[in-house]
Chain A
Amino acid sequence: MINKKKTTIFSKQELEELPLTYRLMNEMETENVGELYLKSVFTNSKKHYSKSYKMYISSKPISNYIIKKDE
């Protein structure tokens, strides 16, 4: 993640209308974006699944392991 090359997803024309910050974007693989966890879950245990609390983060510092669906 250190010093990754910057990129942009906006066209030259769009960039002319946007603040300069949009010229220096970071590209990451979606499933590796920690705050999204779109394709990873913390556990396969059924008891942690309910309508309201699909995603569960333990407040205890047990580990940073996550289990990917394809494993």
Chain B
Amino acid sequence: MIVVLSYDWYEQGTDPVIDWLIYHKANFVKITIQDLLNKRENCKININTGEIWINGKEISKDINVIWFRRFEDDVRLNLSDKFPSKQAEFEVDHEIRELTKFLFSRFKEKKWMPHYKGIDVNKLDVLYYANKAKIKVPTTVVCNNKNDLITFFKNSLTGIIIKPIRHSGYFIKEKNTYSIYTNSIDEKFINSLPENFTATLFQEKVKSKFEIRVFYLDGEFFATAIIINNNNNNTEADIKLSFESKDINWIPYKLPTKYEQEMHAFFQSINLNTCSFDVILTPDNENILLEINPVGQYSAPSNRCNYNIEEKIANWLIKNDK
């Protein structure tokens, strides 16, 4: 049996894969956080025996493969954001994370996608371990003071950017939505800062011919070159902000075989059997790894480059359900 661990709401990557599982009549069950929290399905996990009962049926013995798709990412409780509900919600969130950890250890012998040991890999881990593995990454610092920032800025000939260490979501405020992406910063911005500030990630800006977004699945690479046809250098530091531009082109792309081999070995070393990752191709034809997301999105490159990634994920799950 395939178990899909996800959440109830719209999730662009999950549902098309489930369509393929249904099409292939795969033996699967989707369990969401809301199944547990909203008391909608009768769920019981016998912690002593490790049995999992869903609506009166024990499924743990049938499980062969687990697709972990943002299971604990979106816990929504019908509570106010004031005391004491705010604190209770914070605690419930941690309860769910403890439960998730138990599921990782309970099913550690099963096939996971991504592997449970790789799910929590973060930007800083990736940059540190990639650098150790001789994979080129941008120079990056996290600092909390103007002096170190000015030194870093002066040493970075191509300029610097800031971005969240983990992730920032959408701040929806009625008609408008606010978000934080990668931003270039300049001397004027730096001069406006106080001597000390909350620790922030700074990275050397990488000169780019174009950016490549890649979905990796158990040794296979599905790469998309994002080519912007404008000569006025009027491009955002974060390419995501140019996705609506009419000047953008999504081209199927083949990474150099040697680079694929290096990345495959690197992913194995950090326990990742799937992920999305972003690479910059420099004017000197060097590939610079920007970041990795173990549960990244793939619908856009899948559709635009005809990769049918959703079907390939479904096929992988079905193949490993034995």
What are the residues of chain A within 8 A of B201 when measuring CB–CB?
19, 21
B interface: dominant SS = mixed
Range for the number of chain A residues in contact with chain B: 35 or more
Q: A2-B242, A24-B162, A24-B180 are in contact. Are A36 and B170 (CB under 8 A)?
A: yes
Query: With an 8 A cutoff between CB atoms, is B120 at the interface?
Result: no
Q: Min CB distance, B174 to chain A, in Å?
A: 7
- Complex formed: what's the CA distance from A71 to B318 in Å? 41
Closest-by-CB residue of B relative to A25 is B178
- Is the beta-carbon distance between B234 and A3 smaller than 8 angstroms? yes
Report B-chain residues with C-beta under 8 Å of the C-beta of A33: 170, 177, 179
A2 touches which of B174, B199, B241 (Cβ 8 Å) = B241
Q: How far is the CA of A33 from the CA of B174 in the complex (A)?
A: 13
A37-B10 contact, Cβ under 8 Å, with A30-B172, A56-B15, A59-B310: yes
Asked if A26 meets B200 with Cβ closer than 8 Å, knowing A1-B236, A59-B20, the reply is no
A19 touches B199 (CB 8 A): yes
Distance in angstroms between the alpha carbons of A45 and B3 in the assembled complex: 30
The stretch among B45-53, B276-284, B299-307 that forms the contact with chain A is B299-307
Contacts A2-B242, A57-B16 given; indicate if A26 touches B178 (C-beta within 8 A): yes
Tell me, in angstroms, the Cα distance from A33 to B284 when the chains sit together. 35
Q: Which residues of B contact A3 (CB under 8 A)?
A: 234, 236
**Complex Cα gap A66–B201 (Å):** 37
In Å, the complex CA distance between A8 and B236 comes to 17
Which residue of chain B has the shortest Cβ distance to A18 in the bound complex?
Answer: B198
Report, nearest first, the 6 A-B pairs whose CB atoms are least far apart: A19-B200, A24-B183, A20-B200, A30-B177, A55-B10, A61-B303
18 A–B contacts from the bound complex (CB under 8 Å): A3-B234, A18-B198, A19-B164, A19-B199, A20-B193, A20-B198, A21-B163, A21-B168, A21-B180, A25-B171, A25-B179, A27-B176, A28-B177, A36-B177, A55-B12, A56-B15, A57-B303, A59-B311
Residues of B within 8 A of A (CB): 10, 12, 15-16, 18-20, 162-165, 168, 170-181, 183, 185, 193-194, 197-201, 234-236, 241-245, 297, 299, 302-304, 306, 308, 310-311
